[in-house]
Chains A and B, each alone.
Chain A
Amino acid sequence: MAAASPAQTRPRREREEELLVWPDLVFVEFICAVLFTFSFTIMSALVNAPLINRANADVTPNPSKAPWYFLNLQEMLLHMNAALAGVVLPTIALIVLAAVPYLDRSREGQGTWFGTLNSVRITVWSSIYATAMTALLILLDAGKHAEIYEKVTGKKWLGEVWLGEPRTVNAQTGAVITDGPPDWAPGFLVALYDLIFSRNFRAIQTEWNWSINLFGLDAGFGPNGQNGRMDWPDDFTRIPLPIINGTWWPKWGNDHGEPPPQWYQDLPDWLTGLYPYDLNVNLPAFLVEILIPVIVIVGLSILMVFVLWRIGWLRTRRDVMIAIFTAFITIFWVMTIVGSAFRGAGQDLVAPWDVPRIDG
Chain B
Amino acid sequence: MAVGDRPGTERPKGPGLLGLIYEKVFHNYVWQSIFRSGYPNTPRNQMLVVATNVFLHLHPTRIHKTHVKITHTYCLGGLSFFLFLGLTVTGVLLMFYYVPSVERAYTDIAALETNVRYGALMRNMHRWMAHGMVITVLLHMMRVFYTGAYKPPREFNWVVGVILLILTLLLSFTGYLLPWDQLALWAITVGTNIVGSAPVLGDSVVFVMRGGFEVGPNALIRFYTLHVIGLPLIAAIFMAVHFWRIRRDGGMARPL
Contacts and interface: CB of A to CB of B under 8 A. Distances in A.
Interface residues of B, number: 94
B228 interface: no
Given A32-B79, A110-B255, A112-B255, A56 B185 contact: yes
Interface stretch (A94-102, A134-142, A247-255): A94-102
Contacts of A61: 182-183, 186
Contacts of B71: 113
Given A44-B121, A111-B148, A51 B256 contact: no
Q: Chain B interface secondary structure, helix, strand, loop or mixed?
A: helix
A101 B150 contact: yes
Contacts of B167: none
A159 B166 CA distance: 48
A329 B135 CA distance: 12
Nearest to A100: B150
Interface in A61-93: 61, 64-70, 73-74, 77, 81-83, 85-88
A20 B187 contact: no
A266 interface: no
Contact of A114 (B79, B146, B154, B198): B146
B158 A49 contact: no
Interface stretch (A35-43, A163-171, A219-227): A35-43
Most buried by A among B82, B102, B152, B155: B152
Given A49-B123, A57-B214, A64-B189, A87 B250 contact: no
B190 A64 contact: yes
Contacts of B128: 40, 43-44, 47, 49
B253 A111 contact: yes
A5 B155 contact: yes
A24 B61 CA distance: 11
A237 to B, nearest CB: 19
B49 interface: yes
How many residues of A sit at the interface, in one of the four size bands?
Answer: 35 or more
Contacts of A102: 155
* Residue of B147, B191, B194, B199 with highest tally of chain A CB at under 10 A: B194
A273 B64 CA distance: 67
Interface string B48-89: 011000001001111111111011100100110011001000
A5 B249 CA distance: 9
Contacts of B169: 69-70
Interface stretch (A6-14, A183-191, A199-207, A294-302): A6-14
B241 to A, nearest CB: 15
Which 10 A-B pairs give the minimum distances between C-beta atoms? Answer: A5-B153, A82-B197, A44-B124, A101-B155, A55-B185, A49-B127, A86-B194, A111-B253, A87-B198, A64-B186
23 contacts: A4-B155, A5-B249, A7-B250, A10-B256, A18-B62, A20-B47, A21-B50, A21-B62, A25-B67, A29-B75, A40-B129, A44-B127, A50-B183, A60-B186, A61-B182, A64-B189, A66-B187, A82-B197, A88-B199, A100-B145, A100-B150, A111-B254, A112-B148
Given A18-B62, A61-B182, A87-B202, 7 more contacts: A7-B153, A52-B182, A55-B185, A65-B186, A111-B253, A112-B66, A115-B147
Interface of B: 40, 43, 46-47, 49-50, 56, 59-68, 70-72, 75, 78-79, 82-83, 86, 102, 106, 109-110, 113, 120-121, 123-129, 131-132, 134, 142, 145-156, 158-159, 162-163, 166, 169, 172-173, 176, 179-187, 189-191, 194-195, 197-199, 202, 214-216, 248-250, 252-256
